């Protein structure tokens, strides 16, 4: 399944002029992701994982590339260097695994230190929202550190409500209720796009 949002916005230029492209993660991205995540600063890791961490496990990286597509969506933003794709950012949502949460997904964004402030997070989050709506999900939520002002501002721009976390005073919940009025028609569009572009 190819996202309508990714198809329409696959290529653009960052604010600094660098050509970028967005696509779904692939199974051959494991080493690319391992290297990219290893380059994150301690602060970027803290904001992504909500706590200081020294290393990112191989199991986490494998899950990004191997988890079933029907349970999650992982998008990468990449640049080209000497013919190679280099990840600069990524976004993901995971769908709840209980009957009560089957229509809800939890999202997270990771933006490389040198690529923050380039408008990448906005495109990623918008693409994830579009994908979640196309799948008929009804709610998207994310956990954001209280001092991650850039992420909180981005969430508000995309019409998330920001609420206190019941479990951690230093964390906020970003919550977005997803409209379903166009879900049936959007799925038809996605199906036609999949037929046009095929699998790569």
Here the CATH number for the domain that contains residue 154 is: 3.40.630.30
Write out the two tokens for 134: 């196309």
Is 182 inside a domain boundary? yes
* Digit-coded pLDDT (tens) for 67-124: 999 999 999 999 999 999 999 999 999 999 999 999 999 999 999 999 999 999 999 9
Is 199 inside a domain boundary? no
DSSP bridge pairs for 13:
19
Is 153 inside a domain boundary? yes
**How far is the first Cα of the chain from the last one, in angstroms, to the nearest whole number?**
11
Split into its structural domains, the chain has a count of 1
Is 179 inside a domain boundary? yes
Is 200 inside a domain boundary? no
Cβ atoms of 75 and 20 within 8 Å: the answer is: no
**Alpha helix stretches (DSSP H) within 52-178:** 58-66, 120-134, 149-157
Specify the pLDDT at position 10.
84
38-41's contacts with Cβ under 8 Å and 24+ in sequence apart are 39/112, 39/113, 40/110, 40/112, 40/113, 41/113
pTM for this predicted structure: 0.85
Specify the pLDDT at position 7.
54
Is 89 inside a domain boundary? yes
Query: Which residue has tokens 């967005």?
Result: 22
Distance of CA 130 to the CA centre of its chain: 11
Query: Which residue has tokens 């199906």?
Result: 191
pLDDT band at residue 195 under the 50/70/90 scheme: very low
What whole-number distance in Å separates Cα of residue 71 and Cα of residue 89? 21
Specify the pLDDT at position 5.
52
Is 79 inside a domain boundary? yes
Q: Which domain holds residue 165?
A: 4-194
Average pLDDT on 52-60 reads 93
Is 43 inside a domain boundary? yes
Specify the pLDDT at position 91.
98
* Digit-coded pLDDT (tens) for 143-192: 999 999 999 999 999 999 999 999 899 999 999 999 854 544 444 434 43
């Amino acid at each position: 399944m190819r996202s309508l949002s990714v198809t329409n916005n696959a290529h653009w230029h960052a604010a600094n002029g660098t050509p970028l492209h967005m696509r779904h993660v692939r199974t051959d991205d494991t080493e690319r992701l391992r290297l990219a995540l290893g380059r994150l600063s301690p602060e970027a890791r803290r904001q992504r994982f909500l706590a200081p961490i020294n290393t990112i496990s191989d199991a986490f990286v494998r899950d990004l590339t191997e988890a079933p597509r029907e349970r999650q969506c992982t998008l990468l933003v990449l640049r080209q260097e000497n013919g190679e794709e280099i990840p600069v950012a990524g976004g993901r949502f995971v769908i709840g695994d209980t009957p009560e949460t089957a229509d809800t997904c939890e999202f997270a964004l990771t933006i490389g230190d040198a690529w923050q402030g380039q408008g990448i997070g906005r495109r990623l989050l918008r693409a994830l929202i579009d994908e979640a709506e196309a799948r008929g999900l009804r709610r998207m939520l994310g956990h954001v550190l209280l001092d991650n002002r850039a992420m909180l501002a981005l969430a508000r721009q995309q019409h998330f409500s920001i609420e206190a976390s019941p479990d951690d005073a230093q964390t906020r919940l970003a919550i977005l209720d997803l409209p379903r009025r166009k879900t049936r028609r959007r799925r038809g569009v996605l199906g036609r796009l999949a037929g046009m572009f095929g699998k790569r």
